[in-house]
Structure 1
């Protein structure tokens, strides 16, 4: 049975700064009202000097009221641009003016919904992008045309219009005859595939409408495509009986000796049936394997998983292109719903597309992933509007954390001294803004809860938060709340007075960063940069890599104590920090920031975290930010801080390394979360007290082997990239322990560690800035049980392969290969998965602590009071298709439910492991 830890974010302080004077205001959206967003991307090619063709793909997002029909209009900047063939709309062009109207099957466009359409075109002279788009005669992101539609509803972040390109005034030209109106369309899933060199990929084809007689679909390759890519069969026959039964088109890539990939487009035309069908094309991209023969099996596996993850039918992404935490909706672990997402998932999205760029040479998808992350999970200026009022000499007001949830709400106490923030001014100078450039950790992608964006109730994705009440608060005891609390939901003071006790409450916004995710994004940017350089394409991702460096600059907030107090605190009266003496130079569990929604209130706050977990460190990111020119932070001290952090993190690993080799929990500067006096027998790391279960206790934070695999993958990446000797010393011992506790069976199946048990402590305190701590003969780990978890196994395999590639360790290489082969035995239609029995779901009807007398409601009307349970404030789960199996278990009439989950991070960890093994060991 796979046992998953609830990877809680200790977010208990994200609402701890509140204004001391009550403020009355009307809830406002986080950004200006618009009707629509349109993104327009092209793939251009040249047919002769000054002439060429292109494919344009458009995504239209309706941010206003629901539409029952629509038309999209824009004007080409160049008179030489023409639409030749389009899909998912009726396309017409008059002069430079282009109009697309809905098909019979896609005219309804709900509020917040998106649609994709596109066309093939030709150009002469140049091919600049249109600058303005209109839906139903309303300019997207701007002012309505003379025939306006009804007023749109608010949108969080309209897409900027592309910069105009100068061109001559368009000449009028006759309007072409409109194409006949199609009755149906050819369904293709997916519409793009990645094909490994020497391998193949498939797409399912069917019809949307029953014909009156047989229909022939002809598959033809568009001229100019890569000759290595072919499709078969070239004709498909659908009858009035099997018209909606998918038939398979297989695209194959020939094995050759070159080291480049290629692309091809396969068009589909229909004849017969008495029905006019429209069809979009099938695009194929070759993933090169550097000419190995007879083909790189692991690159082929990467392409197979990549296609499954990107297949819309499998449901890994929302209509907005946001990766879900999991395909399945009924999933309760760290996120409390599968269709939430995390900054963790976004960092894995980047990793998937980085490996795609490595195997294809196409970096547009990597840039797209970062752009999506920036749009949806990095708060915009409108989402964090009052940062300019932040006072670095008074970052936040103290409120303690407590083990017992019943100790909440926690009293605000301005009498406890807080230190100064030493990096705010240099960040503002470096980037000319007071905004924070970091991901918030949790999004309600589909707005399942109904908070919307800043209280509007409708906008999605929506920023939300959960954990707020100490280390004993499991996911089953959380009360979700909006990140922008305008008191539109919850109780009299929104949700604030569930967590914080004060005389007055103010409407506010607040976000919490999970540093391991931002650090992973930096790590991935390093890999992408190196791979793009090797291809001569670094310029294509230079601006994205610069954003990763910026993210790393702000990530330094994770190096500081929660209230910027100096390390060594044993009471609330311990010294406040000045300069950088409150820095630990480790990656703590979170940093958070917030402020008033009312600009006249004039306040904002920032905090770090006092708790440091071994599983969150990322020495590869520290090394990249301190040594790599393209990733060098712009601030005056960013690179030097990360250089210090690199040494400190490696010391931390060594100080926490057990006698067997596994890495123990961590250390805290705030015992029990309120600077209590720690037990005198516990050793300290640079003043912070050893804690075998830092941050959360239900379940213990370091019992999950996944933290070992994730963290050691970063150490192994550092060793592989730089040859760091200290990293090798740590890995030598860890790899030996992990391999000794891994079983590869004769039939190819595997067992890896799952639950860990700990005893003892580091041998001594450590405070030196140089050298490495001694061994720990009295600190021990035992493996309580094992698992076949595919995601953890994929990450673990990466540890072994990076280590093996640098150390030339044949045993580690062979075990990595065996794990990947074993994982591949668990393929299914959506990826790879194993059955998981969720006995912990017996807690779904556990009571959720609500302070006596407190009452409120969730946006859907679910009451919040002393009788609330996890499920009672999440009544939407009763409509989930998996609910009957769960309910039978809760009622005692059925066994613990068993599901095959497809977590986004797990699928990507496996896909990346396959791709990286193919790169590192191309001959198997």
Structure 2
């Protein structure tokens, strides 16, 4: 029988949030641990003994996996100490090479080191991880040299998005009005600079593409690049990677700019894109580092990094604004949708990105900034919003930041409730700019504070609402927040979501288990009414495929652990423990991994859209022209030791199978192991 806190079940219109942390005692690995789980379960799947309780085993597993991750011989890090996306190089997903990295990976490193500090009391690696991220993933002043020219009353020139890559380049249109930026002046006042303190989302760590020497850089150095530029239908397989600093060294006469935007002339420039979920994860980790170090009497050791995390959270507010700072709600028609001012252009949610850029020439400077009109449930982080609005150590310096994040916290939790399906899973998201050009949505499209329901926000190939990993990632953050705050609306969302998850998780023996992988959606939510939310009886989800994805499993175990600790739900706790057991049974010399068959690798020879008449070259001499394919502009893949399996598949052979060790996945598992121990080690 499942245990619920009866007092937590309220009507949909009732919301209570207690702003005090739960009192809990950290028991270290000396003395006796009181186990709050059924006897007989162990991390190895055997019988527990008085000499080796399960909680000790999970913490040992954490330290063992941490050691494998940090072992230089295992290949998770570059010579600079940067975490690769994966140990293996032939890997194509959002990053299109295994030795690229993302802001996601940096944020997971920071979180991993926070957990290590909790377990060992050693906060040096946590501080070092933030320093590494700041050095390599936040552009320094020389890499954003013209931010001082930014005009907050005219943040950026409008360019329409399209659902078809063939509609690009998108013509810049200075006649479309844009709103004003209410953050720039107070950020400049708070920190004494116009520079943005946020991570760019992707980096070519080994300079595989060869853009390291642009803008005065050095070949072989870690280099900022970008890929996605041409709307939601542009998959990874259809991208043209380009340098973030564009000095026309490669590509065509205008570098790569005229593949994406149409203009009368082009200037050498820099531009960066932030992935808000990664910055928010870094803030989330800093919150816990501060809490745990404080419990140890070591708060002073992390104070400087916590202060810098607060600063990152200040700038993260850009993601809560419409792309062109237009007013939120019923925004239809690029010409007619009114420009915003103050906070009326903020949807208060974590959008898919924010971005900024400018001229390289400081004698003819200009600079721009944009927010994001689209919000995906999977990017929300109420734990970070809670920290930035409630924790004195993390409330940012800007005078309006705490209230902004407090409003965002409330809005994010409502967003989850609005998007919750009849079964319990959370649907896609919402947009203030239909199809990226403030188009007219279909009649009857439900709304959330005037934003339109978007079943698959931001990308369609594959649809952004179908991967279960978004469920695990995002609801883990909600479960943490519920654990800290007792917010009862969050608890209601989680009650229903956990019921659905447990109905779709199977745990066998010897490392055999399955969790959801691919979701199919139908219907839509009810239009949001905060005082009387609908039941969403017309919004449905079905699990169509299952998986043993180890990283998602780790995140799911983490979510279930926090939920169980907050609610007393024994079934959730037992499932979390069972999933961790199963993961450990799939350990190998490098970490935790299972084989993956990659049928999607038949897309290596997908054609990339290149406009007629356009031609250019990649740094290695690969030709970019109409008819080019994913692999024809990435011929370096043909030198990869795993290429023969892909080549055989393209020639009609079987789909290749690889065993990948993604950094974020290993970190997620390790974090979940430590989390379970800390939550259920209480007397």
How does the TM-score come out when normalised to structure 2? 0.91
- Please report how far the alpha carbon of residue 257 of structure 1 lies from its aligned counterpart in structure 2 after TM superposition: 4.0
Partner of 1:672: 435
Q: Which of residues 633, 638, 641 in structure 1 aligns to 2:401?
A: 638
Alignment partner of 1:547 is 2:327: no
Cα contact 1:450–1:457 (8 A) shared by 2: no
Once the two structures are TM-superposed, the CA of residue 867 in structure 1 deviates from its matched residue by: 2.2
Partner of 1:528: 289
SS of aligned partner of 1:689: strand
Q: Deviations over 1:807-859 (max 9, x none)?
A: 11111000000000011111111000011000000010011111111011111
Displacement of 1:774 after TM fit? Answer: 2.6
Cα displacement (A) at 1:451: 0.4
Please name the residue that 2:80 is paired with.
Answer: 320
Are positions 1:502 and 2:263 aligned together?
Answer: yes
**Counterparts of 1:348 and 1:747 in 2: how far apart (Å)?**
28
Measured against aligned partners, the alpha-carbon deviations of 1:11-62 in whole angstroms (never above 9, x if no partner) come to: xxxxxxxxxxxxxxxxxxxxxxxxxxxxxxxxxxxxxxxxxxxxxxxxxxxx
Matches of 1:439 and 1:428 in 2, distance apart? Answer: 18
SS of residue in 1 equivalent to 2:627: coil
* 2:369 paired residue number: 606
Q: Which runs of 5+ in 2 are unaligned?
A: 1-26, 34-50
Rate the CA distance shift 1:743–1:293 in 2: closer, same or farther, 3 A: closer
- Given that residues 257 and 292 in structure 1 are in contact (C-alpha distance below 8 angstroms), is that contact kept between their aligned partners in structure 2? no
Do the aligned residues in 2 keep the contact of 1:585 with 1:648 (CA within 8 Å)?
Answer: yes
Determine the structure 1 residue equivalent to 2:490.
Answer: 727
* Residue 748 of structure 1: how far off its partner (Å): 5.0
Q: Which residue of 2 aligns with 1:387?
A: 147
Deviation digits for residues 579-635 of structure 1 (CA, Å, limit 9, x no counterpart): 110000000000000000000112000000111101000001001100000001000
**SS of the residue aligned with 2:412?**
helix
Counterpart position of 1:31: none
Say if 1:465 and 1:482, in contact at 8 Å, map to a contact too: yes
- State whether residues 292 and 922 of structure 1, in contact with CA within 8 Å, keep that contact through their aligned partners in structure 2: no
- Give the Cα separation in 2 of the matches to 1:764 and 1:721: 30
Does 2:616 match 1:856? yes
Aligned equivalent of 1:570: 332
Residue number in structure 2 paired with 1:466: 227
Q: 246, 267, 272: which is aligned to 1:485?
A: 246
CA 453–777 in structure 1, closer or farther in 2 if over 3 Å, else same:
farther
Structure 2 residue 431 is matched with structure 1 residue 431:
no
Mapping for residues 194-209 of structure 1, pairs under 5 Å:
none
Residues 577-588 of structure 1 correspond to what in structure 2 (within 5 A)?
A: 577-588=340-351
The counterpart of 2:564, out of the listed 787, 800, 804, is: 804
Stretches of structure 1 lacking an aligned partner (at least 5 in a row): 1-196, 199-254, 260-290
The answer to whether the 8 Å contact 2:99/2:204 transfers is: yes
The correspondence for 1:367, drawn from 119, 124, 127, is 127
Q: 1:679 to 1:637 in 2, by over 3 A?
A: same
Shift of 1:775: 2.0
Residue 420 of structure 1 deviates from its aligned partner by: 0.3
Q: Where do 1:168-317 residues align within 5 Å?
A: 256-257=30-31, 296-317=56-77
Change (3 A) 1:748 1:451: closer
The question of whether the paired residues in 1 share the 8 Å contact of 2:511 and 2:584 is answered with: no
Match of 1:399, SS state, is: coil
Deviations 1:531-583 (A, max 9, x none): 00000000000000000100000000000000000122111121000111000
Given that 2:322 and 2:346 are in contact with CA atoms closer than 8 Å, whether structure 1 keeps it comes out as yes
What is the rounded CA distance, in whole Å, between the counterparts of 2:496 and 2:598 in structure 1?
A: 33
Which whole-Å deviations, capped at 9, do the CAs of 1:368-415 have from their partners, x for residues lacking one? 000000000011011101000000000000001001111000001001
Question: What are the Cα deviations for residues 657-712 of structure 1, in whole angstroms up to 9, with x where unaligned?
Answer: 00010000001111111111111111111111101111010111010000000000
2-structure distance, mates of 1:702, 1:258: 45
* Secondary structure in structure 1 of the residue aligned to 2:542: strand
Q: 1:651·1:773 contact (CA, 8 Å) conserved in 2?
A: no
Q: Give SS of 1:736's match.
A: helix
Cα distance between partner residues in 1 of 2:55 and 2:581: 16
Return the offset for 1:292: 8.5
Q: 2:658 aligns with which of 899, 913, 917?
A: 899
CA contact (8 A) 1:566 1:583 kept: yes
Which structure: greater helix fraction?
2
CA displacement at 1:806 relative to structure 2: 1.2
The alpha-carbon deviation at position 746 of structure 1 amounts to 4.6
The SS at the match of 2:492 is helix
Structure 1 residue 424: Cα displacement: 0.4
- 2:541 is matched with 781
State the SS of the aligned residue for 2:273: strand
Which of 336, 344, 354 aligns to 2:104? It is 344
Q: For the Cα contact (< 8 Å) 1:654–1:775, is it kept in 2?
A: no
**Contact 2:511–2:586 (8 Å) recurs in 1:** no
Structure index of larger Rg? 1
Instruction: Check whether the contact 2:528–2:534 (CA below 8 A) recurs between aligned residues.
Output: no
Q: Distance in 2 between the 1:342 and 1:721 partners? A: 29
Counterpart pick for 1:561 among 322, 325, 328 = 322
Contact 2:509 2:582 in 1 (8 A): no
Using the TM superposition, give the Cα deviation of residue 891 of structure 1 relative to its aligned residue in structure 2, in angstroms: 1.1
Q: Choose the corresponding residue for 1:738, options 497, 501, 509.
A: 501
What's the offset of the Cα at 1:922? Answer: 2.9
Looking at structure 1, the residues matched to 189 and 259 of structure 2 have their Cα atoms a distance apart, in angstroms, of 37
Q: Distance in 2 between matches of 1:635 and 1:773?
A: 34
Match of 1:687 among 450, 469, 473: 450
Question: Matches of 1:425 and 1:592 in 2, distance apart?
Answer: 17
- Listed one character per residue, the Cα deviations across residues 166-193 of structure 1 (whole Å, up to 9, x for unaligned) are xxxxxxxxxxxxxxxxxxxxxxxxxxxx
* Map of 1:915 onto structure 2: 674
The equivalent of 1:755 in structure 2 is 518
Whether contact under 8 Å (1:838, 1:896) holds in the other structure is: yes
Matched pairs, number: 637
> Does the Cα contact within 8 Å between 2:55 and 2:677 map onto a contact in 1?
no
Secondary structure at 1:580 match in 2: helix
Superimposed CA distance per residue, residues 491-538 of structure 1 (whole angstroms, 9 cap, x where no aligned partner): 000000000111100000000000000000010001111000000000
Q: Confirm or deny that 1:698 pairs with 2:461.
A: yes
Instruction: Provide the aligned C-alpha RMSD in A.
Output: 1.7
Secondary structure of the equivalent of 1:670? coil
Judge conservation of contact 1:296–1:922 (CA < 8 Å) in 2: no
Moved segments of 4+, more than 6 Å: 291-295
In structure 2, what is the Cα distance between the partners aligned to 1:889 and 1:904?
27
Residues 439-496 of structure 1: CA distance to partner in whole angstroms, max 9, x if unpaired? 0000000011110154445151100000000000000000000000000111000000
Query: Quick check: 2:430–2:453 contact (8 Å CA) kept in 1?
Result: yes
Residue 407 in 1 paired to residue 167 in 2? yes
Structure with greater proportional strand content: 1
Question: Any idea what the Cα deviations from partners look like across 1:699-739, whole Å, max 9, x if unmatched?
Answer: 11010000000000000000111111111011000000011
Distance in 2 of aligned mates of 1:453 and 1:546? 34
